[in-house]
Each structure stands twice: as structure tokens, then as C-alpha cells.
Amino acid sequence: MLSDKLMYYASCPVVLSYAGTMLKTDVCKHAQFPGGAKIFAANHPTTTDPFFVAAMVREQSFILINDLLFQVPILGEYLRRSGHIPVKVGSGPAAIEAAVERLAAGQNIIIFPEGALSPEDGGFHQARTGVARLALASGAPVIPVGIHLNWQKIHTIRSTVRGQVEYGRWYLRGPYNLTFGQPLRFHGDVEDREHVRLAADAVMHHIIELAHESKERMNRAPGALPGSIQAA
């Protein structure tokens, strides 16, 4: 759509400029991105991750993002005009179906497999199966992304959306490292639950390793993984 392209080309330079100054962003790619539709899958330490990841991809991509953010004034209008995909509680399959249609049209998707913000101790939730279902149904490669930042600089902000109290984690200043991994490809039956579970776990394993790499670059020394997997 013309409107979402205009929003992308208008907003991307702004986010890139902000990320390059206030965030001190450090980006590493293990390989060039393949052509065609791709699925970018990242860990999710903060509410602001979708926008920073989308900017660093430097290709128009559509984010699977919490429906509540579409209710926030100004931000919600931006998300709608940009064509991003709302994920409502209890209606994940509909969002996945919409994302598969975008991939079939040659468009990129950004997803956060944990399905929620990562644990506050710097660890990870177990991946939900949406990322695997996307990859198996579309045949598109998955690019795992590992994020690491300075947790002490996160600002927790309380807000009320549709009468529901929400706590967002906003990262507005500080080091922000991303590592993009090698493309992963998955084949098999999307209705095979065990196969889907294994594929989702494989993606999350790569994300954790890449987050570890991002942490090592930030600390300039080897260290332990940012955390262990925790069941959501």
C-alpha cells in the first residue's frame, strides 16, 4: 500500500538518527539478508524494540505487535497507517494468518517469539509457536536477532489503556546492541505439533546465542548468557 510505504520512508530516517545518537546502537550481521520475504525474530527486553529492530533491518517490514499499542493516541494511528499487524489476546491464529499473507506477497515480518516482554532479570521466556508456524506455512527464512542493552537505563512507565493498567519498558538512551544471525529455514508439516515446537525452540536457541554475542560486544569480554529460558 502507498500509505504504509510513505510512513516507512518518512519514519525510518528519524528512528535511525535517534538510534545512532541517543542509543549508541551497535549492529552486527552474520550474513547479508536474502532477497524476498523474510521473518525477523528477536528477543524482547523493552517496549521500544519493535521500532528499533524495524529501523535496523533497513527494509520495509511489518511488525506483529500487541493490540493495546494500537489504542495509544498518536502511536496507534502511526501503527495503523504503517500497516503493522495487531495481535489480540486469544486471537493469535488470525494475526499469524495475516502475517502469512504478507509473506506470500513478498513482504517482511518482524515477530517477537516470546510473545511478551522478556523477564526483567535479563533472561528469556520459552518461544511460543507462532514463529515456527509462520516459517513452515510460508517457507520464508527466519533471521534470528539477539538484543542486549543496559537494563539499568530502562524506564518503566505505567499507563491505562481501555481501562486496563499496563506497564511498558521504554529504552530511550544508552547502548543498544543487535546481532543478526544466519538465515534459518524450516520444512515440514505445520500441523505436526511436536515438529512446530522443536522449530520454535530452535529459533529461540539462536536468538539467545545472538543476545549473548551482543552482550559480549557491549562488555568487550566473554560472559555468561544474559539469562536462562523461563516458561511463559
165 forms beta bridges with 160
Sign (positive/negative) of CA torsion 51, 57, 58, 62? negative
Contact criterion met (CB below 8 Å) for 81 and 9: no
Q: Is 224 exposed, middle or buried (0-12, 13-18, 19+ CB in 10 A)?
A: exposed
Residue 225, pLDDT > 50, answer: no
| Residue 232 cell numbers, joined | 511463559
Q: Distance of CA 45 to CAs 7, 103, 115, 137, 227, Å?
A: 25, 26, 11, 27, 12
Q: What is the pLDDT of residues 169-212, one digit of tens each?
A: 999 899 999 999 999 999 999 999 999 999 999 999 999 999 99
Question: How is the chain split into domains, by residue range?
Answer: 2-230
Domain spanning 2-230 has what CATH number? 3.40.1130.10
Which among 3-7, 119-123, 157-161, 184-188 has the top mean pLDDT?
Answer: 184-188
**What pLDDT was estimated at residue 227?**
44
What is the pLDDT, as a whole number, of residue 47?
92
Per-residue pLDDT tens digits for 135-160:
999 999 999 999 999 999 999 888 76
- Position 221 scores a pLDDT of 42
Q: Please state the three-class secondary structure of 160-176 as a single string.
A: EECCEEEEEEECCCCCE
**Do 48 and 66 contact (CB within 8 A), yes or no?**
no
Q: Give the pLDDT of residue 17.
A: 79
Residues counted in the chain: 232
- Per-residue pLDDT, 224: 38
Kindly report the pTM of this predicted structure: 0.89
